[in-house]
Each structure stands twice: as C-alpha cells, then as structure tokens.
C-alpha cells in the first residue's frame, strides 16, 4: 500500500462515514454512537499483530494490555448495541415485556 493510495482510502472513508450518519434519525443516535464505538474495535487486529511481533517483556506486557482492551471494546460495544437495537419495534410487532433494568 503506497502512501498516496492510503491517503485516497482515508479521504473516501471519511466521506463515507459522514454520508452514512448524515440522514440518521435522532432516535438512533445513542445506538449508532454505540455501534460506531463497536466498529473501531477493529483495533483488535492491529493489537494482535503488534503483540504477535513483540520481543521484549515490556512490549509483550503493553501489547497484552492492548489486546485485552481492544477485545473489551469490540465485545462490549457489540453486546450493548445489540441489546439496544433489539428493543426497537414497530407497533405491528407485539412486543414481549422485557424485564426492567434495575438501578
């Protein structure tokens, strides 16, 4: 991947992100923020490769923390987004009574 191709990818992805969100209704802002939070959990693959190529103990420790946090980002982001979106139903579909989240 040459530098200029990477730059093109960067530009096009930036526009893509903007366009996808531009038309989103307010009712989905929280799940969408959570969903995009999940998507940057892809940092996991980078953390895996960084740790996989580590040699010194310091690198391994930091890399392990990185993989741990990245996995947390991806898994946590997925679960909470899925939980929220699962509840959105139209009036046609008769919804069950989910138990209330205690406080």
Partner 1 sequence: MNTPLLGAESVHWLIEISYFVTAFLFIMGLKRMSSPVTARSGIVWAGAGMLVATLFTFMYPGMGNYEWILPAIIVGTLLAWISGKRVAMTDMPQMIALYNGFGGGAAAAIAAVELYRGEAMSPTMGTLAVSGGLIGAVSFSGSLIAFGKLQGLVKKSWRFGGQQLLNIVILLAALVVGAFIASGWHHDPFHVSLFFVLALVFGVFMTLPIGGADMPVVISMYNAFTGLAVAFEGFVMQNAAMIIAGTVVGSAGTLLTQLMARAMNRSLGNVLFSGFGDTGGAAAAGGETKGSMKPIDAADVGVMMAFSQKVIVVPGYGMAVAQAQHKVWELCQLLIDRGVMVRFAIHPVAGRMPGHMNVLLAEAGVPYDLISDLDEINAEFETADVALIIGANDVVNPTARNDKSSPIYGMPILNADKAKNVIVIKRGQGTGFSGIENALFYLDNTRMLYGDGQAAASALIQAVKAV
Distance CA 71, CA 78 (A): 11
Closest approach, Cβ 54 to partner 1, in A, equals: 6
Nearest to 83 by CA among 19, 34, 15: 34
Closest approach, Cβ 81 to partner 1, in A, equals: 5
Q: What are phi and psi for residue 55, nearest 5 degrees?
A: -120, -55
Contacts with partner 1: how many residues (CB under 8 A)? 91
Decide if residue 15 touches partner 1 (CB under 8 A): yes
Residues 21-80 close enough to bind partner 1 by CB under 8 A: 21-56, 58-60, 62-80
């Amino acid at each position: 991947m040459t530098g200029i191709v990477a730059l093109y990818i960067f530009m096009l992805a930036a526009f893509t992100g903007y366009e996808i969100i531009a038309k989103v209704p307010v009712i989905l802002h929280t799940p969408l923020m959570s969903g995009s939070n999940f998507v940057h959990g892809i940092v996991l693959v980078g953390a895996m490769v960084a740790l996989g190529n580590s040699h010194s103990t310091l690198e391994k420790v930091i890399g392990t923390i990185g993989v741990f946090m990245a996995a947390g980002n991806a898994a946590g982001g997925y679960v909470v987004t899925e939980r929220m979106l699962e509840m959105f139903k139209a009036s046609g579909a008769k919804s069950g009574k989910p138990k209330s989240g205690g406080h």
